[in-house]
């Protein structure tokens, strides 16, 4: 089948590779244009790299729905679009160019987590499973009928940076299933599972400000936030020492325990995992324990500002006297997202 690919990020790459391996013709790869192509450090563009490695033509319109862009797409006589992490909503006129329309690989179990950050929101909301959906595209965001779906159980302590590549691999077979369905479609009859508004949740992008930790919230919620925002934008809090000095810590890995310390939210003390009756990340391992609104947060990996990431045990060797230390709290209590 002649398929035009539209995408930018890493989520699309495993399926792109498989499309070529299966013998599909890819006459054009459509990318979002670089914001500043002259910048010394360009953002990663995995689909661009894949296209260049395979000597595929690249098209970078400012707007995919501009009449000139649509005319350019039409020159390649595509039968189908494969869209994943592209960043622009295709108009009806654009979707009408291929005979079979387009399919979109989305990183959630639709209709849950519609939007640009489904993987992160699945973790933040404490879902027990995550997955991918392949939809037949309509002009409304993530609202077309579902052609294929695949799911997986979330792993303990898994963060967004670890989950996303797993879901990208899941998306390969799901996308091929959707293409197989469309290869037999007459273009008129109903196809796939029609989405309803029941169970719809939104999954907008995060900003750096979302990563601030407020220890008045529950330890369980803070852990979900930490997992959801790794590796970007990350979560942080300001550690204040008894002498008034402050140090920003990026919190990389943590776990919640049902432990009542009697301390106020944000108060910090070093302890071993054995003291709290847990075997994570390893028996006798030293962690930073932090009192939360409910429960206790155990920080196992962190990154002091302008330094490398390290285990809490290594951090504690350099800060052996943690007396009267606490994490600062935002002036106004943050709410759960």
pLDDT tens by residue, the chain, 337 residues: 999 999 999 999 999 999 999 999 999 999 999 877 767 677 778 999 999 999 999 999 999 999 999 999 999 999 999 999 998 999 999 999 999 999 999 999 999 999 999 999 999 999 999 999 999 997 666 678 999 999 999 998 999 999 999 999 999 999 999 999 999 998 888 899 998 888 899 999 999 999 999 999 999 999 999 999 999 999 999 999 988 899 999 999 999 999 888 999 999 999 998 888 888 888 778 899 999 999 999 999 999 998 999 999 999 988 866 778 999 999 999 999 9
131 and 264 assigned to the same domain = no
Does residue 194 lie within any of the structural domains? no
Rounded to whole angstroms, how far apart are CA atoms 289 and 323?
13
163 and 250 assigned to the same domain = no
Does residue 86 lie within any of the structural domains? yes
36 and 126 assigned to the same domain = yes
Number of structural domains (the chain) is: 2
> What pLDDT was estimated at residue 25?
98
Last residue of a domain, one of 117, 149, 183: 183
15 and 156 assigned to the same domain = yes
> What pLDDT was estimated at residue 142?
66
230 and 292 assigned to the same domain = yes
- Residue spans of beta strands (DSSP E) within the chain: 3-7, 29-30, 58-59, 80-84, 102-106, 129-136, 146-153, 235-240, 246-257, 268-272, 286-291, 296-304, 310-311, 326-327
CATH number of the domain residue 227 falls in? 3.10.25.10
143 and 281 assigned to the same domain = no
**Other residues' Cβ atoms within 10 Å of the Cβ of residue 3:** 24
Rounded to whole angstroms, how far apart are CA atoms 148 and 135?
7
Going by C-alpha positions, the residue among 120, 119, 126, 125 that lies closest to residue 105 is: 119
> What pLDDT was estimated at residue 131?
98
Burial class (CB in 10 A: 0-12, 13-18, 19+), 172: buried
> What pLDDT was estimated at residue 120?
98
146 and 24 assigned to the same domain = yes
> What pLDDT was estimated at residue 196?
85
Q: How far is CA 314 from CA 50, 223, 267, 327, in A?
A: 39, 21, 20, 19
> What pLDDT was estimated at residue 288?
94
144 and 237 assigned to the same domain = no
178 and 223 assigned to the same domain = no
33 and 134 assigned to the same domain = yes
Does residue 147 lie within any of the structural domains? yes
Does residue 9 lie within any of the structural domains? yes
Q: What is the pTM of this model?
A: 0.93
CATH number of the domain residue 86 falls in? 3.40.50.170
> What pLDDT was estimated at residue 35?
78
Does residue 228 lie within any of the structural domains? yes
Rounded to whole angstroms, how far apart are CA atoms 220 and 183?
46
Query: Which tokens belong to 145?
Result: 């009928």
Does residue 247 lie within any of the structural domains? yes
SS3 330: coil
Which residue intervals of 111-232 are DSSP H helices?
118-124, 160-183, 219-228
> What pLDDT was estimated at residue 141?
63
Does residue 192 lie within any of the structural domains? no
User: What is the residue range of 248's domain?
Assistant: 208-327
Does residue 334 lie within any of the structural domains? no
28 and 150 assigned to the same domain = yes
User: CB under 8 Å to 181, separation ≥6 — which residues?
Assistant: 147, 148, 191, 192
Rounded to whole angstroms, how far apart are CA atoms 253 and 262?
24
**What DSSP assignment string belongs to 106-146?**
ESSSTTTTBSS-HHHHHHHTT-SEEEEEEEE--SSTT-SPE
25 and 102 assigned to the same domain = yes
């Amino acid at each position: 089948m002649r398929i035009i690919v539209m995408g930018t990020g890493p989520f699309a790459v495993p399926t792109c590779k498989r499309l070529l391996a299966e013998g599909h013709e890819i006459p054009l790869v459509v990318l979002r244009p670089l914001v500043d192509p002259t910048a010394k450090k360009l953002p990663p563009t995995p689909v661009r790299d894949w296209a260049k490695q395979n000597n595929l033509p690249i098209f970078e319109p400012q707007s995919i729905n501009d009449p000139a862009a649509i005319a350019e797409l039409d020159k390649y006589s595509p039968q189908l679009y494969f869209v994943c992490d592209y960043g622009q909503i295709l108009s009806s006129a654009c979707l009408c160019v291929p005979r079979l329309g387009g399919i979109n690989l989305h990183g959630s179990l639709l209709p849950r987590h519609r939007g640009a950050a489904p993987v992160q929101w699945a973790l933040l909301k404490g879902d027990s499973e995550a997955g991918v959906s392949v939809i037949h595209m309509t002009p409304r965001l993530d609202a077309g009928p579902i052609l294929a779906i695949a799911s997986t159980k979330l792993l303990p302590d898994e963060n967004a940076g670890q989950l996303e590549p797993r879901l990208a691999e899941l998306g390969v077979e799901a996308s091929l299933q959707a293409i197989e369905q469309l290869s037999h479609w007459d273009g008129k009859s109903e196809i796939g599972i029609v989405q309803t508004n029941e169970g719809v949740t939104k999954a907008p992008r995060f900003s750096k400000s979302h990563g601030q930790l407020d220890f008045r919230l529950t330890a369980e919620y803070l852990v979900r936030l930490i997992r959801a925002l790794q590796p970007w934008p990350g979560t942080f809090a300001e550690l204040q020492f008894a002498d008034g000095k402050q140090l920003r810590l990026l919190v990389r890995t943590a776990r919640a325990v049902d432990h009542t310390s009697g301390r106020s939210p944000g108060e910090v003390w070093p302890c071993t995992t054995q003291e709290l009756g847990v075997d994570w990340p390893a028996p006798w391992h030293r962690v930073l324990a932090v009192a939360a609104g409910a429960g206790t947060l155990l920080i196992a990996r962190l990154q002091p500002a302008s330094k490398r990431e390290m285990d809490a045990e290594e951090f504690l060797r350099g800060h052996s006297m943690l007396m009267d230390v606490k994490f600062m709290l935002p002036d106004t209590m943050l709410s759960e997202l």
